[in-house]
Amino acid sequence: MKQITILIADDDEEIADLVAMHLEKEGYRIIKAADGRAAVQAVQSHSIDLAILDVMMPKLDGLEATRLIREQARMPIIFLSAKTSDMDKITGLVIGADDYMTKPFNPMELVARVKAQLRRSMQLSQPAAEASSVIELAGLTIDPDKRSVARYGQPIELTPKEFDILYLLASHPNKVFSADHLFRQLWGEAYYEGGNTVMVHIRTLRKKLGEDKDKWIKTIWGVGYTFNA
């Protein structure tokens, strides 16, 4: 079985060593980078299964590094940051991160989130039992094999999690999914602080889809979200 490789990019050597120690105990292979540029180079040079990036790094910060990484790879990315505001978290998620943890953090919680992201990533990479169907609804074309979305024929760039949310909702038009259900199914972990995470992804997804915010994804207040067929 292929050993899973995790990239840890942080200019704080003590934090990088602490994270590496806990992940190595779980059997993961670790590659370290001390700045954002080295992180991008590591993704280009190695087969990385998951990346843990500090937001504030020299040469390239975590946000810019993620933009460059997303141009060539779709592995899960977890941000570590001393920035705790909701806007900082939203920015990280919009850029393309799959999860965001604030410093100081519990190393065991980080390990749990790494495992959850890897489980989800591996499920998506498994070949389907039968060919996936392209969804064409309300002016949107959603191709699960290519993981592409077009609005009235014009491509839309979505992050992996935004695509997952849209595809799940569009696969069950008019069915209402609670934030709890979406978080457990798409993040594969217990529902802690999941409401804000789902809300942020729904918000950015709506912005990218454009037009009226409820045209495709409608909020059923107090219940959850549904796709308007």
Q: What is the distance between the alpha carbons of residues 124 and 118, in angstroms, rounded to a whole number? A: 10
**Which CATH homologous superfamily contains domain 5-125?**
Response regulator (3.40.50.2300)
**Angle ∠(115,116,119) on CA atoms, nearest 5:** 85
Domain ranges within the chain, ordered by starting residue? 5-125, 135-227
DSSP state of 27: T
Q: What is each CA distance from 15 to 54, 59, 134, in whole angstroms?
A: 10, 19, 44
In the structure encoding, which two tokens stand for residue 67, read together? 């933009």
* Amino acid letter, residue 33: A
Count the Cβ atoms, other than its own, within 10 Å of residue 207. 10
pLDDT tens, per residue, the chain with 229 residues: 678 999 999 999 999 999 999 999 999 999 999 999 999 999 999 999 999 999 999 998 989 999 899 888 888 899 998 877 777 777 777 777 888 888 888 999 999 989 988 887 776 655 444 445 888 887 889 998 888 899 888 999 888 888 889 999 998 888 898 888 888 788 766 555 556 778 888 888 888 888 665 678 888 888 889 988 7
pLDDT score, position 128? 43
Task: Specify whether the CB–CB gap between 167 and 140 falls below 8 A.
Answer: no
Distance between CA atoms of 166 and 171, rounded to whole angstroms? 8
From the CB of residue 227, how many other CB atoms can be counted at a distance below 10 Å?
Answer: 24
Tell me which residue of 167, 168, 136, 170 sits closest to 153, measured CA to CA.
Answer: 136
Q: Are strands 5-9 and 50-54 parallel, antiparallel or unpaired?
A: parallel
Backbone phi, psi, residue 73, to 5°: -150, 155
Please give the single-letter amino acid code of residue 89. Answer: K
Burial class (CB in 10 A: 0-12, 13-18, 19+), 173: middle
pLDDT in the model for residue 132: 58
Place of tokens 């919680």: 109
Q: Which fold has domain 135-227?
A: Arc Repressor Mutant, subunit A (1.10.10)
Residue 156 bridge partners (DSSP): 149
To the question of pTM greater than 0.95 for the whole model, the response is no
* Closest residue by Cα to residue 57 from 87, 33, 22, 88: 33
